[in-house]
């Protein structure tokens, strides 16, 4: 089973995903890390050198490769059955080929937080590695992007839940739907 975690930056996709995967004994992957490792560049460098469109194409490629590996059973892992919690970058579903891919081949869970919580998390975490926020007032930009992305996230999601409410039991229940 492939569970994709989608949602706005700062909602906890990576930290929640790692914790869930650990509790379930599943694999974990983060699309931002895969892109950076594969391209040998940080995301802000990719944005700066090639633009957001090219970044989204690369992101789609790495997401697709990972989904293919888990769908085909060739993914490395300790278990016969290949299960993964896959955290996607906040903008991944805004690229329609990625949205289509995750809707068709994974179970997407939208980790939804109140805007105020996202802003606070981003203030704490910092925004230097978040190119879509660069050069903007944080609160204004987050509110704008959340407003634009909310319909995309909701349209992709098989489930919508607050990050602190998701449990291994919820993930296990998805398997039997």
Binding positions for Mg(2+) are 14
CA atoms of 81 and 60, how far apart (whole Å): 24
Q: Which two tokens stand for residue 141?
A: 């930009």
CA atoms of 139 and 1, how far apart (whole Å): 36
What are the binding residues for substrate? 32, 56, 90, 149
Angle at CA 37, nearest 5°, toward 63 and 41? Answer: 110
CA atoms of 30 and 66, how far apart (whole Å): 10
151, burial (CB in 10 Å: exposed 0-12, middle 13-18, buried 19+): exposed
What are the binding residues? 10-15, 32, 56, 90, 130, 149
Nearest to 153 by CA among 108, 116, 115, 101: 108
What are the binding residues for ATP? 10-15, 130
């Amino acid at each position: 089973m492939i569970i994709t975690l989608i949602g706005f930056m700062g909602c906890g996709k990576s930290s929640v995903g790692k914790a869930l995967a650990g509790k379930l004994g599943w694999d974990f992957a983060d699309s931002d890390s895969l892109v950076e490792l594969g391209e040998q560049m940080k995301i802000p460098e990719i944005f700066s050198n090639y633009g957001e469109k090219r970044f989204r194409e690369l992101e789609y490629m790495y997401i697709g490769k990972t989904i293919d590996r888990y769908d085909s059973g060739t993914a490395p892992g300790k278990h016969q059955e290949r299960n993964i919690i896959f955290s996607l970058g906040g903008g991944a579903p805004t690229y329609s080929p990625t949205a289509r891919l995750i809707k068709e081949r994974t179970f997407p869970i939208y980790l939804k937080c109140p805007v105020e919580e996202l802003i606070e998390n981003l203030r704490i975490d910092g925004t230097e590695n978040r190119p879509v926020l660069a050069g903007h007032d944080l609160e204004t930009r987050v509110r704008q992007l959340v407003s634009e992305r909310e319909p995309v996230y909701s349209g992709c999601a098989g489930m919508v839940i607050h990050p602190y409410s998701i449990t291994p039991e919820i993930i296990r229940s998805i398997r039997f739907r």
